Amino acid sequence: GGPMSHLRPRLCLMEKGVAGYGFHLHGDKGKSGQFIRLVEPDTPASAAGLLAGDRLMFVNGENVEGESHQQVVSRIRATSGALELIVVDDETAELLKKHNLQCRREFVTEGIPVPGRDSDSDRGDAQSNGTPREASPLPHENGDASSERSGRLSITSSTKVCDQESSKLFKTSQVT
């Protein structure tokens, strides 16, 4: 499959052991986000698949991306029963940032939806049916180049753009 297959947030479930969970949480001053700094071997954290360098996104289903180190630590300490952490590694964090996506719980099971041009199936289509891929809306960074994207979003766009857009959309829908 496409990039959806391997990059996704991970859900780590752990019960507090005698010596705690076995991971160290780290927040960089001036940088947003809390990171897992150290995972001790043979602890609930290591068994749950937590890795040093992971960025913490959710604690017990609550998004903590914007919270301070102290808030996050308090949440973890207040947990009774199993602690549920959702984390992303560097690559996954980059992917979310690149596509301006907020980490969501369902990404853990469903994967991260990235715009079509990155996925293998679309690349295959572009070659077989011969329609230029550029006609389709691209991710934000080159949104301006795509008349469809801007035509759809801007109310002031001229009718000409809309006509082109509808014929383009029609052509695309016939092909697929």
At 13-57, the pLDDT tens digits run: 999 998 899 999 998 777 778 999 999 999 999 999 999 999 999
Lowest mean pLDDT among 6-10, 55-59, 89-93, 153-157: 153-157
In the Cβ-directed half-sphere of 2, how many Cα atoms lie within 13 Å?
A: 16
Is the confidence at residue 63, as pLDDT, over 50? yes
Is the confidence at residue 174, as pLDDT, over 70? no
Q: Give percent above pLDDT 70 in the chain.
A: 62
With cut-offs at 50, 70 and 90, classify the pLDDT of residue 117.
Answer: low
Q: Across residues 45-73, what is the average pLDDT? A: 95
pTM for this prediction: 0.62
* Tokens (6 digits) for 104: 């969501």
**Alpha-carbon 93 to chain mean position:** 7
Q: How far apart are CA 163 and CA 143, in angstroms?
A: 19
Cβ contact 12:45 at 8 Å? yes
At 76-91, the pLDDT tens digits run: 999 999 999 999 999 9
The pLDDT score that the predictor gives to residue 139 is: 59
Burial class (CB within 10 angstroms; exposed 0-12, middle 13-18, buried 19+) of 54: buried
